[in-house]
Amino acid sequence: MTTVLARAIVADNGTTGSGSLLAQACEPDGGSQQASPATAGARAAGLSKQTSASGDTTVLDNYDWFKDINYLDFLRTVGKSFSMTQLLDRQFIQARIGEGGSGISYAEFSYTLIQGYDFLHLYREYGVDLQLCGADQYGNASSGIHLIKRFENTEANVWSTPLVIDPVSGRKFGKSEGNAVWLAKEPIEHPDGTISENFTPVFDFYQFWLNQPDTSVEYLMKFYTIYDKETIESILKEHENNPGQRIGQKALAKGVTEVVHGKIAAEEAIRLTEVLFNKSAIITEDDLKIAKKHLKTAQEGINVIDALVETGLAKSKTEARNFVKSGAVSLITPGEDGSTNAKITAAETTLDASGLLKKGKNNFSVIG
**Beta strands across the sheet bearing 329-333:** 297-298, 363-367, 355-359, 329-333, 340-343
Single out the residue of 259, 249, 164 nearest to residue 207, CA to CA. 249
Are the C-beta atoms of 59 and 51 separated by less than 8 Å? Answer: yes
pLDDT tens digits, 131-165 = 988 888 888 889 999 999 999 999 999 999 888 88
Burial degree of 352 (CB within 10 A; 0-12, 13-18, 19+):
exposed
Residue-level pLDDT, tens digit, the chain, 368 residues: 444 554 433 333 344 554 554 444 445 433 444 556 666 666 666 666 666 655 667 778 888 888 899 999 999 999 999 998 888 888 778 888 877 777 888 888 888 899 899 999 999 998 889 998 888 888 888 999 999 999 999 999 999 988 888 777 777 776 666 667 888 888 877 666 777 778 899 999 999 999 999 999 999 999 899 999 999 999 999 999 999 999 999 999 999 999 999 999 999 999 999 999 988 888 999 999 999 999 999 999 999 999 999 999 999 999 999 999 999 999 999 976 778 889 999 999 999 999 999 999 999 999 98
Our separate counts of H helices and E strands in the chain read 17, 12
φ and ψ of 181, to 5 deg: -115, 125
pLDDT value of residue 2 = 46
Are the C-beta atoms of 257 and 266 separated by less than 8 Å? Answer: yes
pLDDT value of residue 81 = 93
Which residues touch 20 (CB under 8 Å, ≥6 apart)?
A: 37, 40, 41, 43, 44, 61, 62, 63
C-alpha distances (whole Å) from 322 to each of 293, 309, 360 are: 28, 12, 12
Strand, helix or coil at 244? helix
How many whole angstroms separate alpha carbon 144 and alpha carbon 117? Answer: 6
Which residues touch 25 (CB under 8 Å, ≥6 apart)?
A: 34, 107, 110, 114
Burial degree of 165 (CB within 10 A; 0-12, 13-18, 19+):
middle
**Residue 323: CA count within 13 A, CB half-sphere:** 26
Q: Which domains can be identified in the chain, with CATH numbers?
A: 3-163 (3.40.50.620), 164-281 (1.10.240.10), 293-367 (3.10.290.10)
**Beta strands across the sheet bearing 58-61:** 58-61, 15-18, 3-6, 128-134, 157-161
How many whole angstroms separate alpha carbon 148 and alpha carbon 117? Answer: 9
Strand, helix or coil at 228? coil
* CA-CA-CA-CA torsion sign (48, 50, 53, 55): negative
> Partners of 248 in the beta sheet?
none
